[in-house]
Amino acid sequence: MVQRAALMIAIGLLLGPIYSTFWESLSGTLHEGHALTERSDRWTLPDGSIQRFRGGLAYRPVTLKLTPEMNRVRLRLAFETARNATESTTGNEYLATLLDVDHPVFERSLQLTVAPGGKATLDVRAFEVFAPTEYLFLLEEVGKPTLDVSSVTLEVWERAEPAFKPVVWCGFGLLLIGMGMAVYGLLTEHKPRLRA
């Protein structure tokens, strides 16, 4: 029973979390990239208002022109860190915000953990665009960064298809059943037998 449970767990992992993660990260086409360079504690937005950042510095806001033909759109951040042996490995925390004019579409907290001199990508979010609109993307450092980030690029991916849900749910179902079978098999295997 334990062998069958292990097989179901393996298949469940492949069809559930592994398939979902890889599909989400690989699907779509890179539409454009924006290098984020300048940082400040305040920026003037396109409508003339001034946005202040009290929690830390923020990169210059990026204007994105998105249309429904690009659906689904996925935003991704690509980081490169400088080699510096003295820096901490706790990582940097960021707050990513997408605005439609001045209304927030979403806000997401991100944690960057990567070795000095390394590269990492963080998926911000995939979403649907319902009308051709200009959006504003803000990336704010939360607190003082402990990693020396040498470059950040905002990548806009279009036609990012979601994972096929029936396959994902089937995978998670097999995973749960397999785990249940494994626990049951281990409990019955070690159950003391009553002597006649």
pLDDT of residue 23: 58
DSSP 162: P
Alpha-carbon distance of 189 to 183, in angstroms, equals 10
**pLDDT tens digits for range 98-121:** 998 768 899 999 999 988 888 999
Rg value, the chain, Cα:
23
The model's pLDDT over 43-59, given as tens digits with 9 standing for 90+, comes to 988 888 888 988 789 99
- Token pair of 183 as six digits: 């626990």
The mean pLDDT of the chain is 82
65 burial type by CB count under 10 A (0-12 exposed, 13-18 middle, 19+ buried): exposed
